[in-house]
Amino acid sequence: MQDQELAFTLILLAFMLLASYLFNLFLGRLRTPSLLAPFVVGLVFQAIPFLSPFTSLATGEIYYFLAQLGIIFLLFLVGLQLNVKELRSLSKHIVVLSILNIVFSSFLGFFVLSSFGYPPLLSIIVSTALATVAETTIAPILDELGVIRTKVAILILCPGIVDDVVEVMLASLASLIIGVIGVKETAVSFSFLALGLFVFLVSVFIFQKLVLPLTVRFNNESKDAQLFLLMISIALIFPAISQIFELGVLLGAIVAGLMFQKFINKSNYEPKAMSTLRTITYGFLGPVFFFGIGLSVSLYSLAESLQLTLWLLAVNFLGKFLGAIIVGRMAKLNLKAIVSIGLGLSAKFSMGIIPVQILYSAKVINQQLFSAFVAVSAVTTMIIPFTLSYIINRWRSSIC
């Protein structure tokens, strides 16, 4: 059975990569990122009835593992290229934007859901989950567009890192609610989250202050293959630590990239290994991840709960743009940069769906609310990457 699954998974990958290559011949003329091709292929793939047996392979262990490697390496490359000086200069704005992003979207969402008759506690959990940012989808797009080191990119991605902690806390709260009503016997422990953050920070400190400096000191002329081994090991270690403690791979991958960026700057190594990793990631593992996203977008949910979906979409965009306008003015950004930030923050399909999925599986929330939440994720996932790519290409000189 495993041999058959492997064979059919290889066929699926081959078909996806070939279709993505062919579709990129068209997308290249529109100057859109290449990773949008496998995403569109995934959307089309799920709509073709006779291909449905292959679709189930995307939920299998083999495909899931490759997709997770894809997002880890994509985010690691983002961390490698983030402008650390710009990041520090914008730290105050990042904190303010993160808070406003959660507060505005949560408050507006709470008001809408309450008006539809949902209980206050469920309304605040779902609306806060809706406030989270799908930085794992947007980050590779910004990287391919060559704007990853700009203020706009930093103000889109860093609030996403902050709200990952909120997502974990929401998942814990959802699990606790299920545990209280007797549907689920155990709940995620907040002390476990705190322990995870402590272990993660200690690991970063040890690598930053001891392991990497010793590597530079005693092996300053390493061959490119050796550097590649070191880079891959770091790219995997920290996502593994953050995943063990249920912090998600985003935190570990971004921090690993930032740490290795500092290591590269202090050493005499040439960045050939990074070019190799970039080719593997954007040519193979990245498309695997984005194809999986395309397959996961529920087209059927778009037709369900239309009124609630439209209200939640309006709340999503209004909350994000309000925060972007306030912080954009604080940072003295122009209108085009503010629009780009607001649009990037509006992307869904993040870990925020986890607490909603937990509540829906336990029948605490109904089909209407769950379908509307998924529909908002689907609509923003289908629209925002293409729109963001278009306006950044059009306004590049004004926002970079």
Model pLDDT for residues 196-213, shown as the tens digit of each residue:
778 888 988 888 888 877
CA 101 to CA 326: how far, in whole Å? 11
Query: Mean pLDDT across the stretch 74-98?
Result: 78
pLDDT for the residue 47: 74
Q: What is the DSSP letter of 186?
A: -
- The segment with the largest mean pLDDT, out of 130-144, 160-174, 281-295, is 281-295
pLDDT of 70 > 70? The answer is: yes
pLDDT category at 321 given cuts 50, 70, 90 is very high
Report in angstroms the alpha-carbon separations of 276 from 67, 106, 225, 238.
18, 42, 10, 21
- Who contacts 137 (Cβ-Cβ below 8 Å, separation ≥6)? 290, 293, 347, 349, 350, 381, 385
pLDDT for the residue 299: 63
For residue 87, the tally of other CB atoms under 10 A from its CB is: 16
Torsion of CA 249, 296, 133, 264, to 10 degrees: 40
Torsion of CA 355, 352, 80, 381, to 10 degrees: 140
pLDDT for the residue 368: 78
Query: Mean pLDDT across the stretch 275-294?
Result: 86
For residue 1, the tally of other CB atoms under 10 A from its CB is: 5
pLDDT of 134 > 60? The answer is: yes
Q: Is this model's pTM higher than 0.75 or not?
A: no
For residue 214, the tally of other CB atoms under 10 A from its CB is: 10
- Quote the tokens at residue 181: 């009503």
328-382 tens-digit pLDDT: 888 888 898 899 888 888 887 555 666 676 677 667 777 778 778 877 877 887 7
- Percentage with pLDDT > 90 across the chain: 6
Q: Which CATH number fits domain 2-399: 3.30.1360.170, 3.10.20.740, 1.10.3720.10, 1.20.1530.20?
A: 1.20.1530.20
Let me know the angle formed at the C-alpha of 41 by 40 and 45, rounded to the nearest 5 degrees: 120
Lowest-pLDDT range of 51-65, 113-127, 198-212: 51-65
pLDDT for the residue 18: 93
pLDDT category at 221 given cuts 50, 70, 90 is low
CB neighbour class for 123 (10 Å; exposed up to 12, middle 13-18, buried from 19): buried
Mean pLDDT for all residues in the chain: 78
Let me know the angle formed at the C-alpha of 209 by 268 and 234, rounded to the nearest 5 degrees: 70
Axis crossing angle, helix 151-180 with helix 335-345, rounded to the nearest 10: 30
